Structure 1
Amino acid sequence: MRRTKLHRVAVAALVLLGSWAVAGTTPAGAATPAAAPSASPGLLQAMQRDLGLSPQQAEARLSAERTATAVEPKARAAAGSAFGGSWFDDRTGRLTVAVTSDASDSTLRAVRTAGAEVRTVRHSARQLDTAKDRLDGTTAPQGVSGWRVDPKANTVVVDVVGAARSDNDVQRFLSKARAAGPVTVRTVSAAPQTFAAGTVGGDPYYTGNARCSIGFSVYGGFVTAGHCGQAGAGVSGWDGSYIGNFQGSSFPDNDYAWVSVGSGWWTVPVVLGWGTVPDQLVRGSAVAPVGASVCRSGSTTHWHCGTVLAHNETVNYSQGAVHELTKTSVCAEPGDSGGSFISGDQAQGVTSGGWGNCSSGGETWFQPVNEILNRYGLTLHTA
């Protein structure tokens, strides 16, 4: 094994000490962040490195994002049927909520009173979601890498690999897409792929000949990516010892799974910092808005940060389309699949796939953790 003693201890802390009885546990679906402690120096350093911020800017941004996360459900409710989407604006440090032009003055006042900025748009979130749902009901050719609702642009964005733009099947799909509703086509340089890898010593867990990364501890096991293993598959840890089995798995269509933990292995509410930052406690699963910062922990590239670019995107992998993924500017590489996405101390999701790498950059998608918890009736292990 090539893992250092420090990393052996870190992994052991993640999977061996989780029998602690922890007060203040948040059940699945709960999304109210606890009072946040001061950010660790390591986390601030990672945000400086990946987002180009000073320590003071990183601290201020985390505080503003916590406020925006709390404001979003109130502002959404205030907008009602006029709601057109929302995102965190890093320039103003506030949540922006889009509302349709037919919104009443009282609705606009209510959204602002909730603590959000207001932008007027043409299409409601319901209209955009309906258009995306129509595309989700189709089968896309490989040249189409995915599609999502972009609330800032107030449109459904369809990504097409540049080399396949003139392909006949791609053109037919785009014609159907434009007929489905407000659609904008964007050219991308590469198609996303999943981030599983062949067996390499010293990593969090193996299944068959694949290496993947632990996502988040739940009571009884941990959640991870569905493409890492099928239900019933056995899982071993970094030291080769048996951990448990995949109890549920879905891929494609979804990309989530959960693994039972036994045979002397336990769970704790911790995300590994890999020596880049201190190990991070998980205190809840409040959803970070578009524009918020987010960091990822994985067994290949360890700790990297970026921002949330989109929610509810459909990604067209070579194995089939996966729905309801969140898109980020964070890099990842093979072996990072299943690993943790966290914003502050709030669990966000498990790494699905992406394009690029952590040398030249790229984009990565994750499956939201709350969907996994709700699907399998799991409870997130929180501090």
Structure 2
Amino acid sequence: MKHRRISKRRAVIAGAGVVALVGAGVTLQTANASEEAPGFTVKALSATAAGSLASDLVEDLGAGTAGAYYDADSKTLVVNVLDEAAAQGVREAGGKARIVQNSLVELKSARETLSDKATIPGTSWAVDPVTNKIRVTADRTVDSAEWAKLSGVVKSLGSKAVLKRTAGEFKPFVAGGDAIHTGGGRCSLGFNVVKDGEPHFITAGHCGEAGSQWSDQQGGAPVGEMVDSQFPGNDFALVKYTAETGHPSEVNLYNGSAQQIAQAGEATVGMQVTRSGSTTQVHDGEVTGLNATVNYGNGDIVEGLIQTTVCAEPGDSGGSLFAGDTAIGLTSGGSGDCTSGGETFFQPVPEALAAFGAEIG
């Protein structure tokens, strides 16, 4: 494998509390009421810097915040808040404050209702901080009876959720960076990492089971063994290198060059991201939702995913999602393809690293 890549998750926001912050969508009650308050300067930020600021604000303001997202056009962080006191704190830190209606607690309750009453194969739901709603999506396999059931549950949530249909079918992208092979299957390497001082790489959990052997060539000698795999629930796996081979901390850009990866970070709604995979190579898109739950069918439900507009196809599974030198996510699944487009979901990298006790390297 010549090049290795790394994935990343929403904009860089560290910690579970921040994920909740950025992930929780908030409705636009008084959308622009406090974005341009006199006497305060809104800072122009990179997506990564906006993620760091969001992390600091959620720690300082706690329950007063209700989600955040990155406005790529103005290069600013927009923070949803529940009252004027929290809005003041956001302004003082250089962000845009927006007073909204739905709290994180209310949105979490809405997600729990969906889990309890609408666990239907071919559906997903994710928090959208731009609209302050839970965005519920049904794929083409959801029949009329299931659609009616789903519609009823969403309607019962009032302004906290919205339902839409997608033309594709949600499924893991089984069979992408560089290709990795096991038996008759193919996936993509996500990022090279270090665990206990030894070189490993991470990929999607649905690609294989612990103990499986992996090669960088179809039918080639093994270069690694999968030591841990988590799917469903999560979708990440750890492979330990067992042969002498290069393992640079970079992502293959399929143009003769590579993107160096220096760190892992959280995704933020509005963040521009890039995916590399062995089937469709390199494609760009935007983060549209956080903390997404996807029901792939057959009991395969994965939670805590990043939702994006980046296309992907079978074989891209496990591949890198990144923003500059920051690893964001690992390709899980979605609908559509790179001809017609679609929706895709990614396992956040920071969560995988924490579970394995590994780091980018």
- Please state which structure has a larger fraction of its residues in helix: 1
AA at the equivalent of 2:188: S
2:4 and 2:189 in contact (8 A); partners too: no
2:147 is the counterpart of 1:170: yes
Question: Which of 94, 98, 110 is 1:131 aligned to?
Answer: 110
2:127 is the counterpart of 1:145: no
Q: Which residue of 2 aligns with 1:281?
A: 260
Question: Which of 199, 205, 211 is 2:180 aligned to?
Answer: 205
CA distance in 2, matches of 1:63, 1:300: 34
Q: Which residue of 1 aligns with 2:332?
A: 352
Q: How much does 1:79 deviate?
A: 3.4
2:4 and 2:191 in contact (8 A); partners too: no
Deviation per CA, 1:272-298: give whole Å up to 9, x if none: 11117x301111112131101000010
SS in 1 for 2:2: helix
1:132 and 1:156 in contact (8 A); partners too: yes
Cα distance change on mapping 1:222 and 1:317 into 2, 3 Å: same
2:45 and 2:75 in contact (8 A); partners too: no
CA distance in 1, matches of 2:95, 2:105: 20
Give the number of aligned pairs. 320
SS in 2 for 1:185: strand
1:131 and 1:180 in contact (8 A); partners too: yes
2:286 is the counterpart of 1:311: no
2:341 is the counterpart of 1:361: yes
Question: Which of 56, 74, 78 is 2:56 aligned to?
Answer: 74
1:31 and 1:285 in contact (8 A); partners too: no
Q: Which residue of 2 aligns with 1:12?
A: 2
AA at the equivalent of 1:215: G
Deviation per CA, 1:85-127: give whole Å up to 9, x if none: 1111123210111112xx243x212111222111111111232
RMSD: 2.6
Q: Which residue of 1 aligns with 2:204?
A: 225
What is the TM-score normalised by the length of structure 2? 0.81
CA distance in 1, matches of 2:200, 2:278: 18
Q: How much does 1:160 deviate?
A: 1.8
Cα distance change on mapping 1:163 and 1:213 into 2, 3 Å: closer
Deviation per CA, 1:28-78: give whole Å up to 9, x if none: x9959xxxxxxxxxxxxxxxxxxxxxxxxxxxxx96323312221122234
Q: How much does 1:204 deviate?
A: 2.1
Q: How much does 1:329 deviate?
A: 0.9
SS in 2 for 1:12: coil
Map 1:265-344 onto structure 2 (within 5 A): 265-275=245-255, 278-319=257-298, 320-344=300-324
Question: Which of 89, 111, 115 is 2:90 aligned to?
Answer: 111
1:313 and 1:324 in contact (8 A); partners too: yes
CA distance in 1, matches of 2:261, 2:115: 33
CA distance in 2, matches of 1:263, 1:77: 44
Q: How much does 1:186 deviate?
A: 1.5
Question: Which of 181, 184, 188 is 2:162 aligned to?
Answer: 184
Q: How much does 1:316 deviate?
A: 1.3
Deviation per CA, 1:304-360: give whole Å up to 9, x if none: 111111111011112421111101111111111000000111100110111121122
CA distance in 2, matches of 1:163, 1:259: 34
Q: How much does 1:178 deviate?
A: 4.5
SS in 1 for 2:264: coil
CA distance in 1, matches of 2:13, 2:138: 36
Q: How much does 1:171 deviate?
A: 2.4
Q: How much does 1:252 deviate?
A: 1.8
Deviation per CA, 1:226-252: give whole Å up to 9, x if none: 110011111111261211211111222
2:73 is the counterpart of 1:91: yes
Cα distance change on mapping 1:31 and 1:253 into 2, 3 Å: closer
What is the TM-score normalised by the length of structure 1? 0.77
2:221 is the counterpart of 1:241: yes
Query: Which moved further from structure 2: 109-118 or 333-342?
Result: 109-118
Runs of 5+ consecutive residues of structure 2 not aligned to the other structure: 6-11, 16-43
